[in-house]
Structure 1
């Protein structure tokens, strides 16, 4: 008989938390020398106890607790190491059957009150089973946990053990959640596959990104334990994404209060370990397209399996997204298919409002699919063996032009009054959610009267006059001015001298290719 535990949860009595101002967090084990030392001692104990009884491990555990180490940590780490172990009952006979024979024999002779009477019964049963008295003593309780033999142990580093312990603490706390919501920067396909496989109830919505909300076990009337364990099992898949945020409402059963539990990748990755999911393409066609498109350096950022697209009551995870200066489009590759799969895909695509490029294996050309061409937000291209790049690029450029027109129209109608002395196009583009080029075009065509347009910014005219006076003063005092020194003066005014030098009425005189030897002089000289 072999035993290996699989549940990701720790018992609630090993969960230590702190609560403050409506928030709750487990007491994580940081990678301190003390915690690493405890982990190492336990790992070494398991290595050396292979072939020995489990009660030998319990002695090590008790010794560490007697030395003053936190019992939550010691027992929690031991439990995780148990799950990496195979324990086996060494008895050749069934221990429960052996005990039954002993109890039956005792029933015939009456209760034993002396050691001699006990030994007589043990000898009698041993003779019946054709084993020695010592063997019977060993086999009688060989199925008790303390008597199990450690047959195999899969070792682990102390750092990895602490990370698994921290993740298990978070999973255990989620067991009592009333709701869970999360957002990630990737790995969506695996997350939804896991969510559906675990039978979790979820909803998808947009709130500065795509979020998934899952009803927690404490909000349901049945299947609480199984459902809570399912939510706990989802957490490792979520945190294997590059970036992620998890928020949960926890019903603290000891006080019947609701607390907020929050996890963020930037803060908790060091505790859980950065174990990112490996990117795997669904087909050679997708992988080939990704490599060829990336090699183009087209200005578009290609992302594999981006955030989900909401299509009515459905969720669609596109194969790729294309992003460029405020413009964003998606691409779905339809390759191998069945009739049922194609019908589901068509229904989802009909309901999406996002701009979508659909690359279809030309062998799928059918009436139902061709009807999607009539939908304004969708565009279909056909391929054989590999996705052609020219039609993809044409579609992207056409879409980008449309986005730029919309952005320019938005900026024209934007009622804004500038007060800063320098307005960087890049910063303004980020604030308004449009492209830098759209900002440059709009502000060049409609420049505020008290500003001057530079290639990368707007600069207030009095700021340029102030800079010109400083430069003139330096030239008057020294007779000439080094280009590098002039740049430093301009930087104090937050002005790019290279872009403003002609407007200010200067020119750069080069003495070789080294900027250290260059000078600026007045343009008329």
Structure 2
């Protein structure tokens, strides 16, 4: 994403419009020039790269655009590393200790580096040249980090990333965000809700899979103390939202007037017809190796029960529950399967609280025996679900036995 000083937003009344670059020849050339600058700098220091970027920027009036492209390339596509024969702090201690034993002179300095290079070569089992010591001495300074790898995007990809970052920056100062997620594929809901949880956003969810969901999210400017980290987390949700087919969003903003410093209300709207592109990968086939292993073992079973993944969304007041699998029989019977294999006290309490509130009569809970449920003060006998226990791997046979028997 972009820092606030590289955001370009226009206020039209109470509506806020972020800068949007067209994918035309001029902007492609700008992006290509920035990418080429990074490609030529591989193996050089960050200071050398910054000098090249400054030359590329020149006295152009669109310097913020050029700096924005460089910022995205530096933070999303480039890898900078500290290159030194030893940790720079340890290396400085060795060099300074050796130098303190001699009177200062250029000849003495060269001799010190020569002697230390031999000592380090023997110690590390590889050749260490005096030049390696000289360059590694302050290699931990940001300016001296080496650009070791650059995964060059296409010019179009960089411009799309820039347009997305401009939109994300709007949410740094949001007070409230309302998202209407219309009827979509259940897997898209799952991905979106997973990111909501990942970014720890304060959200209230209403709706169901047939009609869609309304998600109300508190923004960073609504908190007692504005949180930069929370604002960044909210901004990170936007690329995830782009994976949903049909949606609309409205944000209320608390913006600062650049002329007198006063605060004023602003609004921003966006929907699925926007031209933005997400750089997040689509949802993973499975959330865990445990789920993947169970699905593979189920596929080898000779049973009429079909295993489907994440197709049911169970609305709960203020939230939603998405079981891991659904088991469907040709005669119309079906069960939902939720695998609980993670140990964290608060996670377990929230998980089982959802189970109680959902009160799903055809729910099967597969629970790891390694979980300390007594410490979490959870009594599985009070859960409205069939319970299957497992150790390292969940056996499909145990699940089949659970759905074939009456719940006690």
TM bin (shorter chain) = 0.5 to 0.7
**Match 1:345 to one of 332, 346, 355:** 355
Distance 1:337-1:280 versus aligned 2 partners, 3 A rule? closer
Matched-pair contact (CA < 8 Å) for 2:324–2:339: no
Q: 1:160 aligns to what?
A: 157
In structure 2, C-alpha distance between the alignment counterparts of 1:246 and 1:136, rounded to whole Å: 55
1:55-454 to structure 2, matched below 5 A, reads: 55-66=47-58, 68=60, 70-82=62-74, 83-96=76-89, 119=106, 122-123=109-110, 126=113, 129-130=116-117, 137-185=134-182, 186=184, 187-205=188-206, 210-222=213-225, 224-253=227-256, 254=258, 255=261, 256-266=263-273, 268=274, 270-272=275-277, 277=282, 288=306, 305=311, 310-317=315-322, 333-335=335-337, 344-349=354-359
Matched-pair contact (CA < 8 Å) for 1:101–1:125: no
In structure 2, C-alpha distance between the alignment counterparts of 1:161 and 1:51, rounded to whole Å: 22
* SS in structure 1 at match of 2:228: helix
Matched-pair contact (CA < 8 Å) for 2:2–2:169: yes
Q: 2:39 aligns to what?
A: 47
Distance 1:181-1:276 versus aligned 2 partners, 3 A rule? farther
**Match 2:3 to one of 11, 16, 20:** 11
Residues 351-375 of structure 1: per-residue CA shift (max 9 Å, x gap) = xxxxxxx7667x9xx997699xxxx
* SS in structure 2 at match of 1:174: helix
* SS in structure 1 at match of 2:276: helix
What is the number of equivalent residue pairs in this alignment? 327
Unaligned runs of 5+ in 1: 1-8, 110-116, 292-303, 321-330, 351-357, 372-382, 388-525
In structure 2, C-alpha distance between the alignment counterparts of 1:315 and 1:238, rounded to whole Å: 17
C-alpha displacement at 1:197, in angstroms? Answer: 2.9
* SS in structure 1 at match of 2:221: helix
Distance 1:134-1:118 versus aligned 2 partners, 3 A rule? farther
C-alpha displacement at 1:22, in angstroms? Answer: 0.5
In structure 2, C-alpha distance between the alignment counterparts of 1:118 and 1:23, rounded to whole Å: 67
Matched-pair contact (CA < 8 Å) for 2:85–2:133: no
In structure 2, C-alpha distance between the alignment counterparts of 1:118 and 1:28, rounded to whole Å: 58
* TM-score between the two structures when normalised by the length of structure 2: 0.63
In structure 2, C-alpha distance between the alignment counterparts of 1:337 and 1:130, rounded to whole Å: 57
Range moving further from structure 2, 201-210 or 11-20: 201-210
Unaligned runs of 5+ in 2: 119-128, 326-332, 342-347, 367-380, 387-398, 404-408
C-alpha displacement at 1:223, in angstroms? Answer: 7.2
Residues 238-293 of structure 1: per-residue CA shift (max 9 Å, x gap) = 11111222222222234422211222110x2x2325978459588679995879xx
Matched-pair contact (CA < 8 Å) for 1:241–1:276: no
Q: Which has the larger radius of gyration?
A: 1
Residues 114-172 of structure 1: per-residue CA shift (max 9 Å, x gap) = xxx88478557646745887656534443333332211122322212222222222222
In structure 1, C-alpha distance between the alignment counterparts of 2:78 and 2:151, rounded to whole Å: 6
C-alpha displacement at 1:190, in angstroms? Answer: 2.1
* SS in structure 1 at match of 2:243: coil
Distance 1:370-1:231 versus aligned 2 partners, 3 A rule? closer
C-alpha displacement at 1:48, in angstroms? Answer: 3.3
Residues 359-396 of structure 1: per-residue CA shift (max 9 Å, x gap) = 667x9xx997699xxxxxxxxxxx969x9xxxxxxxxx
C-alpha displacement at 1:51, in angstroms? Answer: 1.9
